Amino acid sequence: MLHAGLYDETGPPTEDADIYAQSMPIPVALNLTSHLTKRIAQVDKDLLDGLTEAGFELDSGPQGPGIMRNQLIADGKVKVRQSRSRIKAFNESGLVLADGSTLPTDVVVLATGYDNLRTSARKIFGDKVADCLHDVWDLNDEVELNVVSVPPRRRKHASKSKCQWPRRCGDTVDIQDIGGNLALWRIYSLLLGLQIKACEEGLYVTSINTQEEINRGRMSLE
């Protein structure tokens, strides 16, 4: 339903579908996604009712765009135990919940949620580089994807060493984030490649550079 007529046998070539899918302003896309989630919920009513009856707490996410559901839970093949009070400790047979109840288990999988990409960068590059990075994902003040595949906007009063793009951490490394699914990055990887090439050639100008820098960039292009 989400990609009907776009990414299916009846849709246009993939290259055209990518342009169409990524051309919509993000605020509009978010609103449409929320409405589409309600339509999907109507189609999946039996599944969602089964999940609720099995003890699975449904959550449509912020502003209602939806999150994953699982037919195995609805069918009773996967059991659910809600614990708002969280886990208190482990014992010899499994878990001790904060309310004092126990949950026998053979294996415990800690699905603790998503970290920012800065967390991965910290593990790979160390604290010095990670501390130079901005938060990744979400939307910036211009309602664009924050940092991912686009240069960070220059901050007022920032020193030149903090304004260069790709972001330079002292004399250590230039780094730019890219992530997401293939449908997203078939488009954005091309733009990122152009930005990197322009940066290497000294032609890249951010949207809030000084007028002197803008003029210098125009002269380079000419």
Residue 9: pLDDT over 70: yes
Q: Which tokens hold the place of 18?
A: 């990518």
Beta strands per DSSP E along 66-110: 87-91, 94-97, 102-104
Residue 208: pLDDT over 50: no
Instruction: Tell me the pTM.
Output: 0.50
For residues 179-195, average pLDDT = 79
- Report how far apart, in Å, the C-alpha atoms of 71 and of each of 24, 36, 48 are: 32, 20, 9
For residues 204-222, average pLDDT = 48
Beta strands per DSSP E along 53-127: 87-91, 94-97, 102-104
- Measured CA to CA, the distance from residue 111 to residue 113 in angstroms comes to 6
* Number of other CB atoms surrounding residue 153 within 10 Å: 19
- Of these ranges, 110-114, 153-157, 165-169, 199-203, the one predicted with the greatest mean pLDDT is 199-203
User: Which pLDDT value is given to residue 194?
Assistant: 84
Residue 162: pLDDT over 50: no
Q: If we measure between CA atoms, which residue out of 33, 37, 63, 22 comes closest to residue 145?
A: 22
Label residue 103 exposed, middle or buried (CB < 10 Å: 0-12, 13-18, 19+): middle
Please give the share of the chain, as a percent, with pLDDT higher than 90.
2
Please give the share of the chain, as a percent, with pLDDT higher than 70.
64
